Amino acid sequence: MGARGPGAGRLKAVAARAVSAALPWEQENMPPAEKVLAFLRTLPIVSGLKAGEKMELLAFQEQFVRGIYEPCDDQGKRLVRLAALSVARGNGKSGLLAGLSLAHLMGPMLEPYGECYAAALDREQAAVLYRMVCAYIYETPWMAARVNIRDQFKEITDHESGSIWRALTSDARKAHGLAPSFWVADEVAQWRSRELWDNLRTGMAKRKHALGVTISTQAADDLHFWSEMLDAEPAPSVYVQLHAAPDDCALDDREAWAAANPALGAFLNEDEFADAAAMAMRSPSFAPAFRLLNLNQRIAAEGRFIEQADWDANGDPFDVAELEGKRCYGGLDLSSTRDLTALALWFPDEGKLLVWHWVPADTIGERVERDRVPYDRWADEGWIERTVGRATDRTAIARQLAEIRQAYDVQGIAFDRWRFEDLGKLLSDEGIDLPMVEFVPGFKSYAPAVDAFERALLDRRMQHNGNPLLRWQAGNVIVEPDPAGNRKPTKAKSLDRIDGIVSAIMACGLAERDEGPQTYKGSGPMWL
């Protein structure tokens, strides 16, 4: 069957050079790992100074291939079903992903009528993998002789096996019916949703010997699904290989460079890498991105306000009962009717922080999928209170405020007037008198509050009892400065939800200025 589609003319010319000699991986009794390695070493280098030469696998690439294909059962069948390689940018992942794809499409690992997929963040990244696969095919006569390439669909069909290869993007919603025999996922640390990844992974159940391979830098936080895969307990069906610099390394530590960049000095230019490190050292704003992308450390590329180590240093457990009757200040961050609401109490004399969260019970499942964090588990553990229905129940908040009034010496609770009217009326109707203080969400109010919060945190006077929801939010916070250097948290630029931290900052700001209690009464805000 002849090749069709936009690439047909080129393929016919290349196919004319096809040879019928035995291929290197076709030796009898050859182990699977050796077959794949032999196949990869026949692929041509298609660009750069070594264009035209054969692929040279570096030690870490060979280690990865052996880690996938060497573990076998008594029948010689591969045990690994999921494989993960995390390495810094620029270490040749595209070539390796493309090569493994071809090994399963038409090489030694092919499966009759197989389905091979390459998933990427967007069309541009998917196109990179597609072009790399096509380049290998165009320069390899026997491959070109047996495929049909359709550029408009980024799809390749192998006529001999009936298998297909197709590029997908991470926002694709057509993966529910797929039955992949092999799939690769590129740079999943940047994916906002895990839907496509999960669809490919679960679709493997339709095949006896399916394999999924993910190669990416690290994600910014522990709760991303890629981080969870890297951190999971070892299992026979999963192979994980991580190359990362030590968390506390200096930016000019060449051993740390090599730890995260096993291709450094091979096809990753060491002089250019040194220039990037020097820029990160001169300009602190470049340092987080350098650590994430070039040192493969789990850190947000945008500078976070709260470093994980500083937050964790305040995680010693304490008995909440010890705070009864103690002086405290509050911060209330009210949500929309269907979003997350948070209330913080800051005890400056004890250096302790309590935070409550509320979420509508009927929306928790949606939130778990949308925000990629275990709200359901946190609710079961008592860190979140479920309210009835699909909208936040203001009565639950009022009830908690009433309990707080009885249990603690509340000096004031800062609140943003936005969305407060309904709650204010409810407090008045129920006779719940609390010293409520309006907090105007601008630089003037936030600047001293942010400073006070940061001082307490760095001085280890912000004990939070290991609240996992707060830990996640702490890693999300980005603060923005004004021209005068005043800072405020920004929900627009932050990596994800920060409601509880915002409440804590408001509470610290109120404690810092301590203007004395003012009592909320009546049907609207009145300050006496």
pLDDT digits (tens, 9 = 90+) for 238-284: 999 999 999 889 999 999 999 999 999 988 999 999 999 998 898 77
Of the ranges 100-104, 386-390, 435-439, the best mean pLDDT one: 100-104
Residues 409, 465, single domain; the answer is: yes
Residues 219, 266, single domain; the answer is: no
Q: List the domain range (segments joined by +) for residue 259.
A: 254-302
Residues 89, 105, single domain; the answer is: yes
172 within domain boundaries: yes
Percent of the chain with pLDDT over 70: 90
Percent of the chain with pLDDT over 90: 64
pLDDT at position 113: 96
426 within domain boundaries: yes
Average pLDDT, the chain: 88
249 within domain boundaries: no
Report the chain's C-alpha Rg in angstroms. 28
pLDDT at position 2: 44
Indicate the SS3 state at residue 186: strand
Top pLDDT among 143 and 416 is at 143
Top pLDDT among 120 and 193 is at 120
Residues 106, 206, single domain; the answer is: yes
Average confidence (pLDDT) over 407-424 = 88
524 within domain boundaries: no
Residues 50, 68, single domain; the answer is: yes
The two beta strands, 436-438 and 163-169, are unpaired
pLDDT at position 182: 98
97 within domain boundaries: yes
Average confidence (pLDDT) over 33-49 = 91
Residues 70, 115, single domain; the answer is: yes
Average confidence (pLDDT) over 336-353 = 86
CATH number of domain containing 213: 3.40.50.300
pLDDT tens-digit readout, 287-344: 888 999 999 999 876 667 888 889 999 999 999 999 999 999 999 988 765 568 999 9
pLDDT at position 12: 54
Answer with the one of 265, 280, 302 that is the final residue of a domain: 302
pLDDT at position 163: 97
Residues 104, 232, single domain; the answer is: yes
pLDDT at position 10: 55
146 within domain boundaries: yes
pLDDT tens-digit readout, 148-186: 999 999 999 999 999 999 999 876 665 678 999 999 999
Q: Give the whole-angstrom CA distance, residue 46 versus residue 51.
A: 5
Indicate the SS3 state at residue 139: coil
CATH number of domain containing 429: 3.30.420.240
Q: pTM of whole model > 0.85?
A: no
Total number of domains in the chain: 3
Tokens matching residue 262: 């096993």
77 within domain boundaries: yes
pLDDT band at 1 (very low <50, low <70, confident <90, very high): very low
Residue 361 exposure: Cα atoms within 13 Å on the Cβ side = 8
410 within domain boundaries: yes
Q: Which of 2-16, 153-167, 172-186, 493-507 has the lowest mean pLDDT?
A: 2-16
pLDDT at 123 over 70: yes
Task: Give one DSSP letter per residue of 468-482, joined into a string.
Answer: HHHHHHHTT--EEE-
Q: Which residues pair with 72 in a beta bridge?
A: 78
pLDDT at 523 over 50: no
Q: Give Dmax over CA atoms of the chain in angstroms.
A: 94
